[in-house]
Each structure stands twice: as C-alpha cells, then as structure tokens.
Amino acid sequence: MDVSPSGGGTVEIDGIAPDEYPYGFPRESDSTIRIEAVPEEGYHFVEWDTIGKQNPKRVIVKRDMSITAFFVSDVIEFTSLDETVHVIIPDGVIALDGEGNPLTDVEFVAAESVPDPPENASIIGLPYQLGPDGATFDPPVTLTWSYDPTDIPDGVAEEELVIAHYDEGADEWQELEFEVDPGSHTLTAYIDHFSTFAVIAFSASPPPPVTPTASAAFTLSSLSISPPEVSAGEAVTISVFLVNAGEAAGSYTATLKINGVAAETREVSLVGGTSETVTFITSQGEAGAYSIEVNGLPGSFTVKEGASPPIAAAPAPPGERNWWLTRGVIITIAAAIAIPLAIRWWRRRGDCGSLGDYISMR
C-alpha cells in the first residue's frame, strides 16, 4: 500500500515513518495495520482522503491501496497577487470547499465589471471575487483589505469607509461587520463564505438647507436741517427718517457729527415694519459754516454774526391778573383827581376866609 502526507507532517504505519513520500509499505491483503498522521510544529491534521478523520486508525489492507493525510497550518493566510486582500484561517476553523472537502487554496480574481454600488457611493480600488464558489467557514475567518487613501473621494473620512459583499439573491451590496485602521489603511471583516467583495465610500450627505432667520433691516433717509441759517447761540434742529424694513425688532445707532466730530449719539429700537424720526438739536456760539453728517447723510447750516432777537414775553393766560398793578393804577388815577380838587379848595379858602369868618356868635 502507498501512503503520503499532504505537507506539514508525516504518516507512520505500525510506528514506522519513511524518509520520503510517497512510500510503498509491503503488506499482505486483508492484514490489519495501525496508521497515524503526525503533524509538524505549526500544523495540525485535518483528515485522511479515504478513511475519515480518526487518527490514529486501524485499517484493513486492500490490494493497491493508497492513503493520503491532509495537514494544514495552525494559521493559514492566503494573499492576492497585489497583496491587497488577505484571507486568514486560524486553527480550529472548519474550512471546506464547495464539495465539502478541506479548503487548500483560495482564488483571488480582480473583478473589472461588478454591479453598481449604492446611490451616492463609489467603489475604492478594485473589487475581488473570492473562490472557490461554495466555500464555507465555521466559525468565520478574517478578511483583511488594504486601500490607497488617495482613492478616497473628497469629504469622506477613512473611518467612514465600509467593506461589503454582493448578495446575488437580494441583488444588492450588503455591509459586513468590520473595523477600520486609518494608521495602516486597512479594513478587517469577518466572513463565513466567499463572494464578491469591495471597499465602498459613501459620499457625504449635503447639508440641509439653511432657513434664513428673521432680522432687522434699517434704512436712514430724509435729512432735514431747520433753520438752515441762525444767529450765534440759536438752536438748529436736525432730523432724519429711520425705517426698519426687516421682520424682526432691532436697535440702530444714529450719530450726529459736526465738522467731522461726533457731537451726539441716539440709540433707537424699532420693531419690524415700523419707522421713527430721529431728532438732534444743537446751537453754536461762533459764526461760520458748519458741516454735519448723520450716519453718512451730509448737510450744513450757517451761524451769522450778532445776537439773537429778543424773545417776546408770553402773555399771561386768561384768568390770571396782576392785582398789584391794578391797584397801583387805581391809586394813581384817584390821586390825579383828588390833588387838583384839594388845591382848588385851599385857594377858595384863602379868598373867602374860613368858615369861622362867616359864622360868628357873640
């Protein structure tokens, strides 16, 4: 009978291990032998090709019998030619091909034509079809994928990349459980079967439209100067028309400048859709021309030489009389009448004598 290992170990028959393989053991038909697969360090026995997985095992020899032992590394790593994709199968994983045999190789096919990615997404680098078809892993094994960061669209962070497989039954790309390592530019996923795989970048969603907030909108107009010419010390009234054409309330600062120097400031608050006349009053003691400005609206007034005309006293309101003046007038009139009469009486007395001169009783 012939025995041989499939790499990673030796096969002993009745405790004897040959120096090279395949090796023919001279045994008679129908005799019983003890066969044992002995793995090398870092490998483990999987199964025999024709007699199951028991190891060691007693076998009845048949004519022209051939037995092969399968060994696999404790950790098996398969890598694509461009070293982009890696499949790592650790010890203890049941890895079978599509026919249920132990998986001994992995096919990496760079797919140039694949279904379109989801909306607002793009495939980074090349997708890969892994095989053989029907291969399964229990528990899942590690799929590591390297990517070129320069292939990532603007606005997409490396942490936002995903690794997905194409589900032909659902006709869609489905995201896998994965981890991203931006430092090494790799993604690591866990798979239990082979399929078409790809790294996908989803474009950043456009920001929602910004709804403009209501605000105040002030307009200043209609500068008025009254009077435009005054005497020294006389008051000049300066006014402007302020409108808040916005939808919200707000405050507006109006500043009066005279000859380029700020003379007075007014803070005006208006609700939306209202207006107000803003008034300043000034007087200048020196004659000359004065330029003014209210928040960019220009104007001027002139101060003439000379004092201001006297201001007439306001008449007393009806019902209010100056009684002292009235009494003085009455006294003056009475005196003007009484004094001439008294003078005439004294003169007549001098001419006619006293009353005693006319009445004498002796």
| CB contact at 8 A, 232 and 308 | yes
The pLDDT tens digits for 125-134 are 999 999 999 9
- Global pTM reads 0.43
Distance of CA 332 to the CA centre of its chain: 94
Top CATH class of 218-304 equals: mainly beta
DSSP-assigned beta bridge partners for residue 76: 89
Would you state the pLDDT for residue 52?
Answer: 87
Using CA atoms, how far residue 178 sits from 159, 187, 191, in Å, is 11, 7, 10
DSSP string covering 296-349, please?
A: TEEEEEEEESSPPPPPPPPPPPTT---HHHHHHHHHHHHHHHHHHHHHHHHHHH
Is the pLDDT assigned to residue 211 strictly greater than 80?
no
pLDDT bin (cut points 50, 70, 90) of residue 337 is: low
The pLDDT tens digits for 55-114 are 999 998 887 788 888 887 788 899 999 999 999 998 889 999 999 998 989 999 998 888
In this structure, CATH architecture of domain 76-202: Sandwich (2.60)
State mean pLDDT over 242-265: 93
Q: Which of 268, 214, 222, 275 is nearest to 244 (CA)?
A: 275
State mean pLDDT over 19-40: 83
Q: Which of 276, 214, 292 is nearest to 267 (CA)?
A: 276
Would you state the pLDDT for residue 323?
Answer: 54
Would you state the pLDDT for residue 189?
Answer: 96
User: What does the domain layout of the chain look like in residue ranges?
Assistant: 2-73, 76-202, 218-304
The 8-class DSSP code of residue 104 comes to -
The pLDDT tens digits for 217-229 are 999 999 999 999 9
Would you state the pLDDT for residue 359?
Answer: 33
- What is the helix (H) or strand (E) element at residue 283, kind and residue range? strand 274-283
Is the pLDDT assigned to residue 247 strictly greater than 70?
yes
Q: In terms of C-beta distances under 8 Å and separation of at least 24 residues, what long-range contacts does 93-97 make, across chains too? A: 93/137, 93/138, 93/139, 93/141, 94/136, 94/137, 94/138, 95/135, 95/136, 95/137, 95/141, 96/135, 96/136, 97/132, 97/134, 97/135
| CB contact at 8 A, 320 and 243 | no
Top mean-pLDDT range of 13-22, 119-128, 181-190, 208-217: 181-190
